[in-house]
């Protein structure tokens, strides 16, 4: 989906983790389209290189960097790369994340640690390494990509994912408080159900109807919907928003069951005279 360039990030250096595919890829593309110099950081080096190359082919400025965000040495090298390649850092987007689909009794300690390491420890490491660069730039923006699971539970992933995303929101609030005196805004977005090619191709028609039915706005969110929120929070328009967690979910957190059932029960209640 093509969107008009709403914000101007010319002269800004942006690091996006987990940027080779999905939400992260769209975020990287949108920053580049708005003039930003983007580091496409991802565990998969070949995918990151392809994403960066395609951004450059469209006239954007991007460079790829392979990184495991749970490795502090690799994260430090990533920030040094951003400094050398693009002159510093102005925006950090922590999007890298993984999940499993096991119930708690089936979740191994290895499963738990892997998800928490990447989803929660990873943002801690990248933020810690980014702070000196953001401070040197006179301030900047950090946006952490959490999930509506952080405020409820995940219906598609496991407890380790839910816990890691809830922890990420708490970390976002705390870092926002500590970084504010340096003119650094730290916020998060909480994506709801996202329509991705993988989901569209693998979910049954019944499952797709159920997922759409849980969203009052009547459709699943897109990667562009998520990128819209990230670019807003990274712009000067959000200069006084700090420590917030914006739900980008079409209202899916507002109810307890699907929209059709809600209205059926309301109609039944009225018919009964209550």
Each residue's pLDDT tens digit, 176-193: 999 999 999 999 999 998
How big is the chain, counted in residues? 274
pTM, to two decimals: 0.92
| CA–CA separation, 62 and 78 (whole Å) | 14
Domain of 86 in residue numbering reads as 13-204+217-255
Active site residue 161: yes
Catalytic residue among 7, 161, 177, 262: 161
Q: What percentage of the chain exceeds 70 in pLDDT?
A: 92
Query: Is 272 part of any domain?
Result: no
Query: Is 137 part of any domain?
Result: yes
Query: Is 166 part of any domain?
Result: yes
Amino acid 1: pLDDT: 47
Query: Is 37 part of any domain?
Result: yes
Top pLDDT among 115 and 207 is at 115
CATH number at 193 reads 3.40.50.720
pLDDT digits (tens, 9 = 90+) for 27-63: 999 999 999 999 999 999 999 999 999 999 999 999 9
pLDDT digits (tens, 9 = 90+) for 231-240: 999 999 999 9
| CA–CA separation, 50 and 106 (whole Å) | 36
pLDDT of residue 273 exceeding 60, the answer is: no
Query: Is 264 part of any domain?
Result: no
Under DSSP, the state recorded for 221 is B
H or E element that contains 205: helix 205-213
Q: What's the number of domains the chain is made of?
A: 1
């Amino acid at each position: 989906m093509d969107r008009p360039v709403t914000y101007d990030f010319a002269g800004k250096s942006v690091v996006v983790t987990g940027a080779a595919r999905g939400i992260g890829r769209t975020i990287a593309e949108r920053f580049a389209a708005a003039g930003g110099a983007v580091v496409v950081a991802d565990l998969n080096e070949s995918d990151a290189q392809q994403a960066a190359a395609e951004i450059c082919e469209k006239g954007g400025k991007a460079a790829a960097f392979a990184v495991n965000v749970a490795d502090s040495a690799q994260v430090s090298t990533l920030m040094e790369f951003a400094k050398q390649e693009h002159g510093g850092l102005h925006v950090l987007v922590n999007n890298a994340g993984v999940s499993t689909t096991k119930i708690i009794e089936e979740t191994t300690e290895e499963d738990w640690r892997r998800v928490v390491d990447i989803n929660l420890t990873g943002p801690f490491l990248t933020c810690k390494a980014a702070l000196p660069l953001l401070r040197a730039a006179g301030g900047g923006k950090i946006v952490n990509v959490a999930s509506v699971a952080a405020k409820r539970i995940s219906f598609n992933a496991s407890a380790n994912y839910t816990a890691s995303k809830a922890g990420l929101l708490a970390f976002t609030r705390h870092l926002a408080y500590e970084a504010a005196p340096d003119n650094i805004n730290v916020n998060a977005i909480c994506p709801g159900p996202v329509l991705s090619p993988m989901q569209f191709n693998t979910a049954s028609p019944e499952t797709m109807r159920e997922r759409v039915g849980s969203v009052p706005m009547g459709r699943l969110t897109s990667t562009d919907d998520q990128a819209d929120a990230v670019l807003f929070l990274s712009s000067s328009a959000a200069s006084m928003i700090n420590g917030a967690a914006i739900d980008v979910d079409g209202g899916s957190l507002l109810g307890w069951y699907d929209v059709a059932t809600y209205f059926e029960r309301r109609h039944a209640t009225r018919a009964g005279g209550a």
